[in-house]
Amino acid sequence: MRAAVRERPSPIEQLGAEPVPAGLRHGRPRSLFTLWFGANVQFATLSVGALSTSVFGLDFVPAVLAIVVGTLLSSSLVGLFSTRGPLTGVLQLVQSRVPFGRLGNLPSAAFTVVNGVGWCVVDSLLGIFILRDLTGMGFGPALAVMAVAQMGVAVVGYRLIHSVERALTVLLVVVFAVMSVYGFGEVSAQAPTAPAHGSAAAFLLVVAVTAARVLGWSAYASDYSRYLPATTAPRRVFLAAGGGSAVAGVWVGSLGAALGTAGALDDPSAMVSGLLPHALGTLVLLSLLLSTLASTVIDLYSGAMAALVAGFTIPRWVSVLVVGGLGTALAWYAGHGDFAAQLNDFLLMTGYWLAPWAAVTIVAFWGRGRPALADPYDPAHRFGRGLPCVLLALAVEFPFMNQSLYTGPLAAAHPALGPLGLFVGFLVAGGAYAVPAASRTRTTRLPLASDPLRSDT
């Protein structure tokens, strides 16, 4: 039997990978809207949007359409996965043990740590760009400022993260509204460069990288809804979490596409400051710095939680410092490379794993004819069918991979097919997991927060 967990009175969150007891449940679904809105109204979203026109060569209107498609596809997963947080009271990766098993889930946990570290690197670099633009600060001191601020909020934990995102939402709406007046007013209908492999390939690539950016959030979704009362309506959770992500992602991504029509994405902060009057540009960059910090906090928090799910028996705050320290060290190395190319590579690499993982998760919890759900805390449930399905999907994706690190044979011969890899992987993993379950009887009892994910069987 697992002993009940009681959180000691402390400003620092005490819970780790344990279920949230009923006595600690609190909040309303609207907090998820402000959290995911604030997490997506930030510099990385703007930069990914700018890739569509400045790097991939897509004209503005089709770029916006591609951003809408990619954002809606992945934001719907953030909303869907968030609905299981109040129902179960456990982290997203603890739930992932159901289709993957305790040991089979370890690669997913390891990848989530890597994802958290990777986004820490991306956002740290964006913050450094801003600090350098505003203060002339050197790379090392700017990196130190980012590291201390990011890890400080993540160490305190869940409540402070929600409070920070809620406080930033109003400020960021105003800031990006002002930016939109200037950015959309200066937009060019045509991209500054032609697509390397045709418009259709560029469109699919924009959909893929946009979806991959938001897919990273789906691996954390329940982490930020698990404190909500178990009676919270799933529909409200879905609309709040998915809606916050979608509205912000479409708006800021489209603004980035508009800014990208002006030229290259060598220095994202210069792209913004060069558009605005000096005083206004300074205010906007300060706001973007705050939003970037707030976004990184989510990645550090969930990356640290993933390490605990993987079995590391260390306090949550220590795990945050380890994950944040790795991200800071890698940011030092990555800061001297081509930012746009590194961002594109990182987004696609995360998507290759996340797309199959998401497909397995959907079929496991919402698919027709799924088997009875296992208990994620059962030590005997070591392996599930999820990992073989994801590995199969990765093998199928391999020929489609098209990055600076590796180009698969299919992508090398037909570059326009490269962006299809993520979607093929999603379909293969979901289909492979669904086939063996087709003849099983679907359990009718829903898992409860007091009995996390356990079924009648």
Separation CA 358–CA 215 (nearest Å): 8
In tens, the pLDDT along 375-420 reads: 788 888 899 999 999 999 999 999 998 877 788 899 888 888 888 8
Cβ-in-10-Å burial (0-12, 13-18, 19+) of 327 comes to buried
In tens, the pLDDT along 76-117 reads: 999 999 999 999 999 999 999 999 999 999 999 888 888 888
Q: With bands split at pLDDT 50, 70 and 90, how would you rate the model's confidence at 4?
A: very low
Separation CA 21–CA 23 (nearest Å): 5
Q: What is the pLDDT of residue 233?
A: 95
Structural contact between residues 147 and 328, judged by C-beta atoms closer than 8 angstroms: yes
In tens, the pLDDT along 130-140 reads: 888 888 888 88
CA angle 109, 121, 176 (to 5 degrees): 110
Q: Which residue has the tokens 């996965």?
A: 81
The contacts of residue 413 (CB under 8 Å, 6+ apart) are none
Q: With bands split at pLDDT 50, 70 and 90, how would you rate the model's confidence at 295?
A: confident
Q: What is the pLDDT of residue 391?
A: 96
| Lookup: tokens for 453 | 């994910």
Q: What is the pLDDT of residue 247?
A: 95
Residue 445 has pLDDT above 50, yes or no: no
Cβ-in-10-Å burial (0-12, 13-18, 19+) of 106 comes to middle
Q: What is the pLDDT of residue 453?
A: 40
Whole-number CA gyration radius for the chain:
21
Residue (of 350, 221, 238) closest to 298 by Cα position: 221
Residue 13 has pLDDT above 60, yes or no: yes
Helix, strand, or coil here: 136?
coil
Considering the chain, what percentage of its residues have pLDDT values greater than 70? 85
**DSSP-assigned beta bridge partners for residue 448:** 451
Distances (CA, A) of 102 to 109, 148, 284, 456: 10, 33, 45, 20
Q: What is the pLDDT of residue 438?
A: 47
Structural contact between residues 68 and 250, judged by C-beta atoms closer than 8 angstroms: yes
The contacts of residue 305 (CB under 8 Å, 6+ apart) are 16, 17, 91, 93, 223, 316, 319
What mean pLDDT is predicted for residues 10-27?
79
| Lookup: tokens for 166 | 């809620």
Separation CA 355–CA 74 (nearest Å): 9
Domains of the chain: 24-338 (1.10.4160.10)
Residue 449 has pLDDT above 50, yes or no: no
DSSP readout, 246-313? HHHHHHHHHHHHHHHTTS--S-HHHHHHTTS-HHHHHHHHHHHHHHHHHHHHHHHHHHHHHHHHTT--
Least confident among 93-97, 167-171, 332-336, 411-415: 332-336
Q: What is the pLDDT of residue 266?
A: 59
Separation CA 113–CA 305 (nearest Å): 8
